[in-house]
Amino acid sequence: MTDQTSHLITFLGTGNYHRTCYEWTDGQRVETALFPTALPRFLPEIRSATAFVTAESEDKHGRQLDAEWPTDWRPEHVKIPKGASPDELWTIFECVVRAVPPKSRVVFDITHAFRSIPLVSVLAVAYLWSVRDVQLHALVYAAYDAKRGEPPVVPVFDLTPMVNLLEWIAAVERFRHHLDGEPLQQMLDQIQRRAYQRRDPEPPKHLQNAGSAIKRLTDALLMGRVREVLDEAPKLADLLDQTALHDEAHRWAKPFVLMLEPLQALLREIARGPQTDLSAHYSLARFYRGRRLYPLAITLLREWLISEACRHAGVPEDQWFDQEQRERVERVLGQCYTAKMQKQPLPTQSAWIEAFANEGLLALWLKVPDIRNDIDHAGMRQRPLPADRLITNIRGLFETPHTGGAP
């Protein structure tokens, strides 16, 4: 029982429904011919309902549905076609979507649904959850073929966990394609917290840690913290390989088990190495380019070039990220850029520039400032490049691979 109300979506077919004893997941039983009339008893928080009917099912069962409805309010009857064509299925989908208010909580009952209506219902659930912030309270199905005992009792299955797989898929897609680990972190955290709140025996101990590690890595990726990424990626990879985590996921978060391989595949794409492995810095910039995260790609490419300049200039490895050292070599690189713009010879006071140029790094550096400045200033300049040109130019910077320096 909850104070939050729910709206019931149900369907009536044209079958010959006989009086049957239905058993809810907690053992509660209700005897009725039309299963939808049992749901307000099983779930008193249902305070409104929409019953989708064809002309035939309305004629056959409509009055009986209202007569046996157990509350002082009645469901709204909405006519739908039979679903005999793709156009009719789209019409049913649209009717279901229109019947559910945004941000509401819904119970879907597909027990008496006909033909392909159950599939349409699941797709409607996915759409409403994704687009209208609708909360799925339950997706229920009374499995008449699974009846047991004498007299027979029909169990009611709550299929919500199966629909929740869509939420898991969306969370993993956010991680894989947008480097956003927060949805996964929230789901894993919620599962572990609820287990402790219910005082379940042997609650999970590793799910929250996995979620936190996923979020730490993706936060570092989204903020372009390359050194933090190099620290967090192997930690997460090791965590996802742990037998204890796999065992807990099998018990408490089965969809997460299916997601482990896609997560590990993404981790294999991310560069590995110590913080001073400049080849790993460059690989991560290419990773950003491949993910269409172009501002991060150009930002990291620029910083990688400055790190390479520090290496060529003989800066000790433990000072490559020292601000004064970086500013010193960056001034020399700035002089090179100015000389290029003014069509003057390159400065000669820094001997390391020749080696830097011979590796193709200076030519790459000279292309970076205009692109980076155009992005960093959000196009607030005279004659900014259109977005498609910027993307083309950034992608072009990576056409010639560079290995960079190794520790």
97: domain CATH number is: 3.40.50.10640
| Angle separating helix axes 117-131 and 160-178, nearest 10 degrees | 50
Q: Both tokens of residue 173?
A: 């897609």
Average pLDDT, the chain: 91
Domain that holds residue 335: 293-397
Residue 372's identity, in one-letter code, is R
**Structure confidence at residue 1 as a pLDDT band (50, 70, 90):** very low
Distance of alpha carbon 100 from alpha carbon 265, whole angstroms: 38
At which of 158, 180, 196 does a domain end?
158
Confirm whether 334 is domain-assigned.
yes
Confirm whether 277 is domain-assigned.
no
DSSP state at residue 11 = E
CA count, 13 A, side-chain hemisphere, 308: 27
Residue 405, pLDDT > 70, answer no
pLDDT of amino acid 407: 39
Q: How far is CA 71 from CA 20, 47, 57, 91, 285, in A?
A: 20, 9, 22, 30, 62
pLDDT of amino acid 334: 93
Confirm whether 249 is domain-assigned.
yes
At which of 158, 185, 210 does a domain end?
158
Distance of CA 26 to the CA centre of its chain: 32
pTM: 0.78
Distance of alpha carbon 97 from alpha carbon 120, whole angstroms: 10
Least confident of 161-165, 248-252, 353-357: 161-165
* Residue the block writes with tokens 């981790």: 267
CB neighbour class for 396 (10 Å; exposed up to 12, middle 13-18, buried from 19):
exposed
Asked if 103 and 139 sit in the same domain, the reply is yes
Q: Both tokens of residue 119?
A: 């599939």
Own/partner long-range contacts of 210-215 (Cβ < 8 Å, ≥24 apart): 210/236, 210/239, 210/240, 210/245, 211/181, 211/184, 211/185, 211/186, 211/187, 212/185, 213/239, 214/175, 214/181, 214/184, 214/185, 214/188, 214/263, 215/181, 215/182, 215/184, 215/185
Residue 119, pLDDT > 90, answer no
Confirm whether 128 is domain-assigned.
yes
Q: Both tokens of residue 389?
A: 């040109």
pLDDT of amino acid 406: 44
Asked if 183 and 326 sit in the same domain, the reply is no
Distance of alpha carbon 238 from alpha carbon 236, whole angstroms: 5
Asked if 22 and 74 sit in the same domain, the reply is yes
Residue 44, pLDDT > 80, answer yes
* Domains identified in the chain, total number: 3
pLDDT of amino acid 314: 95
